[in-house]
């Protein structure tokens, strides 16, 4: 079987099964089988596939036909120009979430500690750490962890487990090490209730060379009052009532813990707003991704302490991100 024949057969199978973008999917899966870039498919259409490649390609096609997302097959997803490892333990990063990163970058001046709440694959936390010039380290053992009580840490993953009490890591952070240009580097933290997700995030941070401290806790329960300058989050916001109508790739494969936000999709927003008022320092920034038609309901949760409230649209003009400042 040649490259060209494999592509034609794979494309036909995927198209008959109603899989979106069948040609592109077949190309990605064949490239993954070959360990090659897509250019190879066009420059070597008559190349014969070895037995091992044919077996892998057939298995990947079968998995995709069963509804498994391509990203979980290849274990890769691009986000903000970088390749992130993804597994079924984490939500697949979407292009819409890049708007959260953009909002954070434009408001990061003076923010020395940033917490990505519900960090999942670490896409937001790692991207912010790299873009803002956070300290680069060959390992991720946190030495200045905000609000983490447990002293046990795994230096290979940078993961710490939250204990009974919180600590404030010695008060406010000042200018740390030098980052990009003349701006001081900031410390970036990622929290998640799923230790499996944190392991994926820590591996991404280590591979991409970003120093991020990962904390195992429910939202920001392990963070001390007034300990961070910015909270960013892409929280679970899909209403449970919408589950039957979701694509099977999402409903059957992505982690429900990171997907659903209660019956209305607003449960985590309600908790996050209250937690943000406790954890943010005065003047701190709160940035969250918004679910469809959730913008006004989330905005209504912000009380009189919140100022400079903005709803930022995505490329389709839909309100995608809410940003606010704690007075």
Asked whether the predicted pLDDT for residue 144 surpasses 70, the reply is no
Q: What tens digit of pLDDT does each residue of 57-75 get?
A: 999 999 999 999 999 999 9
User: Average model confidence (pLDDT) for the chain?
Assistant: 86
Q: Are the C-beta atoms of 324 and 309 separated by less than 8 Å?
A: yes
CA torsion angle for 106, 109, 113, 118 (degrees, to 10)? Answer: -10
pLDDT bracket for residue 185 (50, 70, 90): low
The predicted model scores a pTM of 0.85
Paired sense of beta strands 82-85 and 76-79, if any: antiparallel
Which of 184 and 209 is assigned the larger pLDDT? 209
123, containing H or E segment = helix 123-131
What is the mean predicted confidence (pLDDT) over 197-211? 96
Is residue 186 very low, low, confident or very high in pLDDT (cuts 50, 70, 90)?
confident
Q: DSSP of 182-222, one letter per residue?
A: TSBP-EEEEEES-HHHHHHHHHHHHHHT--EEEEESSTTTT
Q: Please determine, for residue 141, whether its predicted confidence score (pLDDT) is greater than 50.
A: no
Phi/psi for 78 (5° steps) reads: -80, 140
Q: Taking 80 as the threshold, does the pLDDT of residue 181 lie above it?
A: no
Residue 49: partners with Cβ closer than 8 Å, 6 or more residues away? 1, 2, 3, 6, 33, 34, 57
Among candidate residues 151, 144, 165, 148, the one with its CA nearest the CA of residue 212: 144
pLDDT-derived band at 219 (thresholds 50, 70, 90) equals very high
Report pLDDT digits (tens) over 94-104: 999 999 999 99
**Beta strand extents in the chain (DSSP E only):** 76-79, 82-85, 113-117, 153-154, 159-161, 187-192, 212-216, 228-233, 280-289, 306-313, 319-326
The two beta strands, 159-161 and 212-216, are parallel
DSSP label at residue 266:
-
Describe the crossing of helices 3-16 and 51-65 by its angle, rounded to 10 degrees: 10
Residue 223 backbone phi and psi in degrees, to 5 = -100, 140
Give the tens place of pLDDT for each residue, 271-290: 999 999 999 999 999 999 99
DSSP state of 112: -
State pLDDT tens for residues 283-321: 999 999 999 899 999 999 999 999 999 999 999 999 999
């Amino acid at each position: 079987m040649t490259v060209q024949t494999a592509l034609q057969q794979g494309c036909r199978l995927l198209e008959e099964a109603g899989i979106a973008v069948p040609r592109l999917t077949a190309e990605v899966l064949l490239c993954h089988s070959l360990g090659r870039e897509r250019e190879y498919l066009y420059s070597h259409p008559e190349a014969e596939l070895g037995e091992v490649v044919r077996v892998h390609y057939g298995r990947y096609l079968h998995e995709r036909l069963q509804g498994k997302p391509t990203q979980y097959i290849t274990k890769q997803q691009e986000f903000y120009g970088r390749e992130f490892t993804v597994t079924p333990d984490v939500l697949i990063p979407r292009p819409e979430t890049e708007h959260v990163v953009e909002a954070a970058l434009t408001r990061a001046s003076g923010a020395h500690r940033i917490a990505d709440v519900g960090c999942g694959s670490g896409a937001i936390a790692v991207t912010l750490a790299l873009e803002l010039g956070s300290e680069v380290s060959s390992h991720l053992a946190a030495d200045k962890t905000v609000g983490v009580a447990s002293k046990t840490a795994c230096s290979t993953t940078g993961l710490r487990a939250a204990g009974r009490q919180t600590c404030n890591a010695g008060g406010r952070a000042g200018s740390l090490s030098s980052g990009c240009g003349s701006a001081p580097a900031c410390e970036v933290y990622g929290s998640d209730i799923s230790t499996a997700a944190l392991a994926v995030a820590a591996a991404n941070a280590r591979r991409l060379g970003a120093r991020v401290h990962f904390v195992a806790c429910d939202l920001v329960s392990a963070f001390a009052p007034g300990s961070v300058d910015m909270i960013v989050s892409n929280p679970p916001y899909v209403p449970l009532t919408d589950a039957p109508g979701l694509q099977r790739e999402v409903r059957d494969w992505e982690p429900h813990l990171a997907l659903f936000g209660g019956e209305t999709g607003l449960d985590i927003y309600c908790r996050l707003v209250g937690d943000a008022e406790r954890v943010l320092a005065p003047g701190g920034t709160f940035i969250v991704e918004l679910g469809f038609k959730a913008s006004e309901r989330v905005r209504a949760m912000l009380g009189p302490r919140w100022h400079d409230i903005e709803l930022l649209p995505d490329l389709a003009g839909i309100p995608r991100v809410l940003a606010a400042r704690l007075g």
